[in-house]
Amino acid sequence: MFSFHGSNPFRSGHARPWILPLSSPAVLVERAPAKINLTLHVLGRSDDGWHQLESLVAFSCGGDQLSLTPGEPLGLTLEGPTAPLAGDNDQNLVLKAARNLGQQIENLKFGAFHLVKRLPVAAGIGGGSSDAAAALRLLARTNGIPLDDPRLMAAARATGADVPVCLERRARMMRGVGEQLGEPLPLPPLVGLIVNPGQALETKAVFSRMNLTPGSQTHYGPHPAFSPNLDSSGFLALLRKGRNDMEDAASVLAPVIGDVLAILSAARGCQLARMSGSGATCFALFSDCRAAAKAKKVILQAHPNWWVKSCAFR
């Protein structure tokens, strides 16, 4: 089922999407937050064509919501402001993840999924991957499978490169094509905004624009080394030494990214502005909640059709 109001899925003020009642003991619910690449270094491209990455990943507080009614036939319904942009239900990563887990675990108990889609699509914040990871967590709960069961990770890897890091929803380093995960990294308090200008951008197109040949290395420079005991100033100092190597190519394909970054960088209290993933979503870190709230208000006044969310990262 779709619930879509108006012509613009990012515009604020839409009616609140219908949420499955949480009082029913049969319904299990998981949050699927946005995945934010605080850094994204492209190390090169392996001989098999895969791009090798090194990225510090964090997660927002808000995002999509996925629920599961166990015992029902496997299926998926969608609603929410960005549901019409999510594509064919049968190709959704939620169902792909469920089927992949079913190939790993004999007699897996499935159910009916319901996705409230709030995150923008093809936006560089791993919305579909986070939804898929939420599906795996829900099926793990239904079947009494611990989250460290290697079959869950195998299903996550088979579903998509960003799904493994989304399973636990904690900040950490991600390397390779997403299969190498570092230990969870406690972050200092980070206040920010996430901004999407409403332009979808496919990761494949951005990599194609970068034009790296198989077997090549970029030699752009090393990734900063983060430790668990950094305070906010130390963390930000290291974060500024990082970068997003996909930003230039993405900005050629979607010049509005440059506008978003310029507006965020010019906002009072902004400490860092950067693109996430392959874009077009950008994020900014602010000195405090008041500065972030002021920037959000100003941005929405000037660009009411943009998707702008306040967030804390973890």
Is-catalytic flag, 241? no
Instruction: Write down the pLDDT at residue 40.
Output: 98
- Greater confidence, 5 or 213? 213
Interval 226-239 mean pLDDT: 94
Instruction: Write down the pLDDT at residue 86.
Output: 83
Interval 147-170 mean pLDDT: 96
How far CA 218 is from CA of 20, 46, 52, 76, 175, in Å, comes to 48, 11, 10, 41, 15
Token representation of residue 132: 């898929």
Question: Above 60 in pLDDT, residue 8?
Answer: no
Contact 51, 178 (CB under 8 A): no
Contact 110, 74 (CB under 8 A): yes
List 35, 96, 117, 296, catalytic entry: 35
92 phi/psi in degrees, rounded to 5 = -65, 145
Closest CA to 289 of 313, 273, 266, 312: 312
Instruction: Write down the pLDDT at residue 314.
Output: 87
Buried b (16+ CB within 10 A) or exposed e, 291-302: bbeebbeebbee
**CATH code of the region 28-181:** 3.30.230.10
Instruction: Write down the pLDDT at residue 142.
Output: 97
Q: Which CATH class is domain 191-312?
A: alpha beta
Token representation of residue 143: 């079947």
List 64, 131, 162, 245, catalytic entry: 162
Instruction: Write down the pLDDT at residue 230.
Output: 93
Residue with tokens 């990012």: 10
Buried b (16+ CB within 10 A) or exposed e, 196-219: bbbbebebeebbeebebeeeeeee
Percent residues over pLDDT 70 in the chain: 92
- The full set of domain ranges for the chain reads 28-181, 191-312
Please give the annotated binding residues for ATP, written as ranges: 120-130
For residue range 78-128, list pLDDT tens digits in order: 999 999 888 778 889 999 999 999 999 999 999 999 999 999 999 999 999
Parallel, antiparallel or unpaired: strands 75-79 and 111-116 = parallel
Please give the annotated binding residues, written as ranges: 120-130
C-alpha dihedral, 126 to 130 to 132 to 138, nearest 10°: 180
User: Got the DSSP string for 212-251?
Assistant: PPTT-B----PPPPP-TT--HHHHHHHHHH--BTTHHHHH
Instruction: Write down the pLDDT at residue 89.
Output: 80
At 206, which amino acid appears? V
Residue with tokens 């290395």: 217
Is-catalytic flag, 309? no
